Structure 1
Amino acid sequence: MERVAVGSTNPVKIRATERVAEALFDADVAGVAVNSGVAEQPTGQAETVTGAENRAARALEADHQATYGVGIEGGVAEFEERPGLYLIMWAAVSDGDRLERGGGPSLRLPDDIAERVRDGEELGPVLDDALETEGISEREGAAGVLTGGAIDRESALAHAVAGAFGPIAADFY
């Protein structure tokens, strides 16, 4: 049985990792609290990927029984010559020797939400405020809200985790 340490205690991130790891091998998945080393609301591809990489490495260091460390980070980014601010999702997987990365969907934020995030607020609390909810990031997340429920945060993050595990698990590499 492979042990997978997720660099977060967020239940959605843990379930997304379980979904992928259990499809690949017999897995025991556990969340561990680690620091991402980036801003609470990462901005740009580079900072978001760095947060995922840091979480993967630190999760592997924190759980000495783990075969793999997984880091998942959500951020916001603008794309050159494209209007709007986008929610982005990245995952990283480390086995101590290799570090692989995979991205999830990119979803354009509504202009009023984007303005608040650009002004320094974190996306989850902004959505909670706008929707009059609590803890949206631990349920359907922005992905669920922004796609009308077509996907949710867990499935969006699972795609990022699968992309990061791909070069490790798929024979094609």
Structure 2
Amino acid sequence: MTRIVVGSTNPVKVAATERVAGDLLGATVEGVAVDSGVPEQPRGRAETIAGAENRARRALAAGDADYGVGVEGGVAETDGTPGTWLIMWAAVTDGERLARGGGPSIRLPDDVARRVREGRELGPVLDDRVGTSDVGEGAGAAGVLTGGAVDRESALSHAVAGAFGPFVTDHYEG
């Protein structure tokens, strides 16, 4: 059986990977705590992707697995598009190849974006704004900001599925 290790013990990140890996590979999935190598609140696309890549490599190195998966959420500004955005990236490695996939991007409300630009982390800012605790271990910012239409697990599963693409199809060869 295929074994996958996710570079996080966050239950939402593990569940997002199980959602994809179960369908694609019939795999077993477990989470392991690893350092992302980036700040707790990644800023910008490059830093967010680097966090996902670091988590994937470190997860694979941490255990006897076929694949290491890294999932990272961050915030970024995009040239030509107003606002600050929630972004999600995943990386998958088998030790030889490394592939990446992105999830949805969701614009942050201006007051939330301002507080994040001032140096605060998105999760606690949203917890404060909507009166919750640990929003990142539940519906996540994606769920809060879409009125529940997209929750964090489904948003992250799209990033994970994109990162697994080169491993489960032959469309990337040649």
Q: TM-score range by the shorter chain?
A: over 0.9
Residue 4 of structure 1: aligned partner = 4
Residue 153 of structure 2: aligned partner = 154
- Structure 2: tracts of 5 or more residues without a match: none
Residue 25 of structure 1: aligned partner = 25
Aligned counterparts, 1:15-164, within 5 A: 15-63=15-63, 65-164=64-163
CA displacement 1:59-99 (0-9 Å, x = unmatched): 00001x21000000000000002110000000000000000
> What one-letter code is carried by the residue in structure 2 that aligns with 1:134?
S
Distance in 2 between the 1:133 and 1:159 partners?
25
% same residue: 70
Runs of 4+ more than 4 Å apart:
none
CA displacement 1:131-167 (0-9 Å, x = unmatched): 1111111110000011111110000000000000001
Residue 14 of structure 1: aligned partner = 14
Say which SS state the counterpart of residue 37 (structure 1) adopts: coil
Distance in 2 between the 1:73 and 1:25 partners?
22
Distance in 1 between the 2:121 and 2:53 partners?
20
- Structure 1: tracts of 5 or more residues without a match: none
Say which SS state the counterpart of residue 83 (structure 2) adopts: coil
Task: State how many pairs are aligned.
Answer: 172
Distance in 2 between the 1:161 and 1:59 partners?
14
Distance in 1 between the 2:12 and 2:26 partners?
20
Distance in 2 between the 1:148 and 1:134 partners?
17
Query: How far apart are 1:38 and its partner, in Å?
Result: 0.4
What's the RMSD between the two structures over aligned residues? 0.6
CA displacement 1:23-81 (0-9 Å, x = unmatched): 11121100000000001100000000000000000000001x21000000000000002
CA displacement 1:101-126 (0-9 Å, x = unmatched): 00000000000000000000000011
